[in-house]
């Protein structure tokens, strides 16, 4: 009954969801491209298919090393990557080109999921983190398609939410073939909401297995050369409500380091122009990466291209990870940490609780309360090259000391295929 009601509600909401998609597509035309995928109408595929689903950019980046490892195994299967967002698919295409297939994930109506599964006929579904859609998972089970939840995390708040709708959640959880949890608390919560005990395993976070491809390293070196030794800090994956704070922090930093450069990378492309205008209104000299403008004389360099955040982290001396000065829950701090540079974050990091716990325990991240706190901390490290290097080394050490989850996940997938 709960599942029936859920499906009917999704069906009723679908016209409004499509209207919203069309409306958002005014500013982001990529959202309208291949819109029929969202109804399950995708190109038909033949042969074995491994379906890897990542909701957006962060999960797509986390899936990168896993997909590269599966490609290296030469399993004789096509890897299909899906995402819910245009930015997620753009990131995937930038990482893999024509090595894998791409599609938007279908909306979770029974009809859309059935159409998608008939056309793709996957042999396995690998879901990154906790993207749990009832129809997607239950219909996969009916078609005997194993569903693996990889790099899975579940907060106490989310677990309590699932417990409130146990009639809907429990059958879905019983349909999951394997949960590779980031930590024991996550694993225990999955068991609590209905996943069979023998199907839950703690593998650690695959995000610690971040890799930096050679072409990304080369591109970062090229940017550094154009900056001629300037002190550079980056604010990655920023959100509305943070940009003004970060631009204010940069003004304070410039008072002590007049050659400092802020690279700011908004999380969503529809905000690129807004942030550029905001920086110019504050009197900054702004260069935009999308226009190939040289940042040498700029005070703010806007990273307004897709899929280059990792490259821009590598061109920086110090990193702030966005989504954390507001109650968004933060983004992945391991991307800048893998470059061996100091990492700063605001207080709101509940989306990456386990990762931050490990970074904080080993002094691999510095937490700040607001823009002035951030400005003071960044200025201090810019004045102390030795301390700056030490913080970066600690961040990298946390990454290296926690690698290995990816091997467990790949082995688990191959064993269960």
The residues carrying an active-site annotation are 59
The Cα 337–Cα 35 span in angstroms is: 36
* Cβ neighbours of 54 (radius 10 Å): 31
For strands 200-202 and 232-238, give the pairing: unpaired
Q: How far is CA 292 from CA 37, 87, 295, 296, 302, in A?
A: 33, 20, 9, 12, 11
Cβ(359)–Cβ(265) below 8 Å: no
Nearest to residue 140, comparing CAs of 177, 166, 167? 177
Tell me phi and psi for residue 263, to 5 degrees.
-95, 120
């Amino acid at each position: 009954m709960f599942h029936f009601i859920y499906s009917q509600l999704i069906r009723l909401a679908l016209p409004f969801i499509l209207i919203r998609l069309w409306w958002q597509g005014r500013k982001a035309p990529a959202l309208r491209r291949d819109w029929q995928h969202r109804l399950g109408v995708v190109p038909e595929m033949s042969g074995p298919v491994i379906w890897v689903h990542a909701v957006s950019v962060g999960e797509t980046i986390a899936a990168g090393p896993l997909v590269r490892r599966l490609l290296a195994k030469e399993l004789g299967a096509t890897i299909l990557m899906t995402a819910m967002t245009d930015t997620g698919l753009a990131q995937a295409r930038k990482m893999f080109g024509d090595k894998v297939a791409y599609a938007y994930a279908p909306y979770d109506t029974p009809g859309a999921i059935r159409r998608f599964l008939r056309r793709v006929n996957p042999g396995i579904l690998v879901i990154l983190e906790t993207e749990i859609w009832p129809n997607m998972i239950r219909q996969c089970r009916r078609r005997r398609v194993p569903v693996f939840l990889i790099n899975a995390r579940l907060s106490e708040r989310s677990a309590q939410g699932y417990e409130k709708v146990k009639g809907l959640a429990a059958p879905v959880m019983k349909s999951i073939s394997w949960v590779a949890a980031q930590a024991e608390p996550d694993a225990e919560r999955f068991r609590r909401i209905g996943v069979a005990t023998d199907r839950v395993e703690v593998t650690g976070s695959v995000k610690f297995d971040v890799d930096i491809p050679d072409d990304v390293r080369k591109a970062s070196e090229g940017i550094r050369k154009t900056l001629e030794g300037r002190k550079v800090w980056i604010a990655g994956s920023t959100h509305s409500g943070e940009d003004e704070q970060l631009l204010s922090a940069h003004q304070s930093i410039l008072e002590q380091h007049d050659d400092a450069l802020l690279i700011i990378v908004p999380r969503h492309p529809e905000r690129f122009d807004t942030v550029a205008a905001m920086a110019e209104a504050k009197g900054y000299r702004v260069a935009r990466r999308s226009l190939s403008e040289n940042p040498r004389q700029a005070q703010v360099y806007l990273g307004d291209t897709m899929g280059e955040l990792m490259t821009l982290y590598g061109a920086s001396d110090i990193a702030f990870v966005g989504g954390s000065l507001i109650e968004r829950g933060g983004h992945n701090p391991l991307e800048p940490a893998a470059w061996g540079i100091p990492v700063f974050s605001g207080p709101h990091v509940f989306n990456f609780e386990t990762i931050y716990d490990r970074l904080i325990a080993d002094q691999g991240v510095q937490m700040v309360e607001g823009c002035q706190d951030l400005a003071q901390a960044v200025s201090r490290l810019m004045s102390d090259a030795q301390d700056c290097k030490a913080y970066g080394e600690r961040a990298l050490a946390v990454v290296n000391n926690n690698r290995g989850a990816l091997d467990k996940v790949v082995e688990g997938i191959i064993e269960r295929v």
